[in-house]
Amino acid sequence: MTDNSYVHRLQAGAPGKPILFVLHGTGGDENQFFDFGRRLLPEATIVSPRGDVSEFGAARFFKRTGEGVYDMADLARATEKMASFVATLAKEHEATDVLGLGFSNGANILANVLIEKGLFNASVLMHPLIPFQPKANPALGGRKVLITAGERDPISPAPVTKALAEYFEAQNASTTTEWHAGGHDIRQNEIDAIQRFFEPYR
């Protein structure tokens, strides 16, 4: 294991197919979305890392000091580590496209890697929370982003979600938002939207 690796599950895909990174929420692990990823893209390489930070025993990808209050230094560390992990595996597997799907804390690290590094051709951010103004990144032009969200989500409030969607739109990313009427839970219309979003990569 190197400093830029994670405990992870990996299933190698067919030659000439994408690589899909699936990133769990707080308290999840590398199993949370692995099978979902395989169903979405059966021929892709699927990679599911486990967060390397423990919050009272719950795995996360970066530290926080309170609900919605990020340790920005650790977010920067985690972003560099995840970007290196993604780039290394994408190269090793000669992936045609680099795809990402994250929920909650997993969506947040995925979003910040996008904001800072680009890297992902298409990304699904499920219930993300980016409680700061991201920097401009012209390299996001043309990249595909799907945000799924709950209108009454107490953890990822709707105005903050809308601000993130507006940020990606301002960077000329192809941005879609799928809402449901609930909170910080995953509902069928989100799953349907994700399936449609990844259909071109099957």
- The catalytic residue positions are 104, 153, 184
Q: Based on the number of CB atoms within 10 Å of its own CB, is 160 exposed (0-12), middle (13-18) or buried (19 or more)? A: middle
Helix, strand, or coil (residue 10): strand
The kind and range of the H/E element at 123 are strand 122-126
The token pair at 131 is 């409680």
DSSP-based three-state secondary structure for 173? coil
> Rounded to whole angstroms, how far apart are CA atoms 19 and 90?
6
